[in-house]
Amino acid sequence: MIKRFVIPALFSVLVVSAPLFAATRSTPIEAKNEPPPPEVLTRAGFEQKLGTQLPMDTLVRDEEGQMVPLGSFFNNGRPVVFSLVYYECPMLCNYILNGEVDALRELAFVPGKDYDIVTLSFNHEETHVLAAKKKANYLKSFDRAGAAENWHFLTADEAPIQAITSAAGFTFAWDEKSQEYAHGTGIMVVTPEGKLSHYFYGVQFSPRDLRLALVEASSGAIGSPVDQLMLYCYHYNPAMGGYTTAVMNIVRIACFATIAALALFIVMARRKERRLRPAAA
């Protein structure tokens, strides 16, 4: 009788405690080219500005060359995966977009239904024609229903780019020696209203972290009850640019599960005892 109820109780504790031992970070790919000089790097970075509103009235160009406000790609009731790259980047930006695709491919969420994707070039000299070509290449790689209509590759003039990158805390600088831009690496998750809610650094991104960020940015409008439980067990850590284990919350769940299992054991034992009393009499 004791084995029948105590063993499931201990198993439930182990299940809810398992995230304590799970790895929470992925290792980014390191670039092999020579780094830009220090004076260039001081002008390139990625500062988190959580809660900052992106300038929704700023005009950008879509893949067809039409000037539209940035806000036209938001306010659809869906969170947005937002990235800043430049399309002629020989290496690093491709790693960022590849990592973004790899993470999104692991999600069951559907573009256009659960979230949207916006990619903006921070090089004001790049054209919408180049953006359209880049989009076509990545649609072949992503190959998900809804991606063609809801992954937008944008370009803009210099002033709008400065307004958007400044709001996002993203800085970049031209390196004459390598003839490339030095810039930060990562992607952002933005609320449906256009406020920055999560930053993920590097060129490889955890599908679990990205899923939780989309659920959290949507205020629970997407996702499942399991996602809500995961958000209780994991907290977004701005310093790390990812989700870390909420140890105390997991301990609380483990304690609750243990108490519930023991209570069930006691109830079942008392019921069995009552059934045995008439036979004994």
Q: Which residues is 154 bridged to in the sheet?
A: 120
9 and 40 assigned to the same domain = no
Task: List Cβ neighbours of 235 (8 Å cut-off, separation of 6 or more).
Answer: 243, 244, 246
CA pair distance 251, 257, nearest whole angstrom: 10
Q: Does pLDDT of 166 surpass 60?
A: yes
CA pair distance 184, 188, nearest whole angstrom: 12
Counting the structural domains of the chain, the total is 2
Confidence bin at 235 (pLDDT 50/70/90): low
Q: Does pLDDT of 46 surpass 80?
A: yes
Cβ contact 239:223 at 8 Å: no
For 98-118, write each residue's pLDDT tens digit: 999 999 999 999 999 999 999
Confidence bin at 260 (pLDDT 50/70/90): low
pTM: 0.72
For 214-232, write each residue's pLDDT tens digit: 999 998 787 766 655 665 5
Q: Is residue 232 part of a domain?
A: no
10 and 60 assigned to the same domain = no
Domain coverage including residue 14: 2-20+248-276
105 and 14 assigned to the same domain = no
CA pair distance 252, 268, nearest whole angstrom: 24
163 and 207 assigned to the same domain = yes
179 and 252 assigned to the same domain = no
Looking up residue 120, the CATH number of its domain turns out to be 3.40.30.10
* pLDDT, greater one: 220 or 76: 76
- Give the long-range contacts of residues 231-238, CB within 8 A, separation 24 or more: 233/19, 234/19, 234/24, 236/198, 236/212, 238/48, 238/50, 238/199
